[in-house]
Amino acid sequence: MIVESENDIKHLKAIGHICAMTLKKMMESAKPGMTTGELDDIGLKFLEKEGARSAPMAMYHFPGATCISVSPIIAHGIPGDRVMREGDLINIDVSAEMNGYYGDTGASMVLAKHVPEYEKMLAAARSALEKAVSVARAGNPLNLIGKTIQEEAKQHGYGVIFDLTGHGIGHKLHEEPTEVFNYFKPKDDRILTEGLVLAIEPFLTTGKGHVHEERDGWSLRTIDRTIAAQFEHTVIVTKDEPIILTKNPPFLSIFFNPKGDKESQRKKL
């Protein structure tokens, strides 16, 4: 989608904010002993309260309001009776529609426990997103986003998931450009234009960077069963700083203190 009016921006900001707040609510609510289905229900109720509807349900008949992936599943996890446990690496992906406009956001986190191996990757993935968003400016090559992500991943000792990409968004969940690669493609000569709406979502991994679809037809894991982390924002490309539609609030946490010490948790972020 290319933004054409202030009305477009107003509606995109509204659905972006709802997606961000839904993600925040779900991350705050996630706890050991809860099923992914129960967590999804929290997200669904929040979306409905705000007047939005689940995009995966509406567009693709996905069997859940949100995607909740528990490692080794890294994306498109179906909410259900899977019980989440302390120390799980999970990803929550929220996309929704309201008044004909779509937003998309996601985050990975460690559940209720310090796991340094996971936390290091999460910090790198968040940094990759921040730097990728910063180069999403009109006139820049689209492949600068992928180059930035790949370089940041490499700097921290990780690779990227080659099979999963960001995408255009706006009046549909997936629009042109249908692929915003998380790695550098020299032959990709597309240029970012002012007003273009993108979902940027780097996936970092310790493995080879390719995925396998599970028998349920949705859930994806790495082919080598290595871990991965994803963070995602929906943005509007401008000549200057992009407008981040899903930034409020930006990814509340990457873990939850098992002792419930919220003050020490805030100091970590």
- Dist. CA 32–CA 49, nearest whole Å: 26
Exposure string over 68-88, b if 16+ CB within 10 A, otherwise e = bbbbbbbbbbbbeebebeebb
- Dist. CA 101–CA 159, nearest whole Å: 33
Q: Would you say the C-alpha torsion 217, 27, 159, 227 has a positive or negative sign?
A: negative
Name residue 167's beta-bridge partners: 199
DSSP per-residue letters across 168-214: E-SSSSSEEEEEE-SS--TT---B--TTBEEEE--EEESS-S-EEE-
- Dist. CA 96–CA 55, nearest whole Å: 4
One-letter amino acid of 218: W
Residue whose pair of structure tokens reads 């709802």 in the numeric block: 18
Q: What residues have CB less than 8 Å from 49, skipping those under 6 apart?
A: none
Give the pLDDT of residue 248: 66
- Dist. CA 245–CA 211, nearest whole Å: 29
Give the pLDDT of residue 254: 39
6-268: which CATH architecture? Alpha-Beta Complex (3.90)
Query: Would you give the distance in Å from CA 120 to the centre of its chain?
Result: 17
Q: What residues have CB less than 8 Å from 176, skipping those under 6 apart?
A: 168
Give the pLDDT of residue 69: 98
Helix (H) or strand (E) holding 105: strand 101-110
Q: For each successive 10 residues of the chain (269 residues), what is the average pLDDT?
A: 96 97 96 97 98 96 97 97 97 98 97 93 97 97 98 98 97 96 96 98 97 96 96 97 83 41 35
Whether residue 72 has a cis bond before it, omega within 30° of 0: yes
- Dist. CA 245–CA 238, nearest whole Å: 13
- Dist. CA 236–CA 43, nearest whole Å: 25
Q: What residues have CB less than 8 Å from 37, skipping those under 6 apart?
A: 64, 79, 80, 81, 82
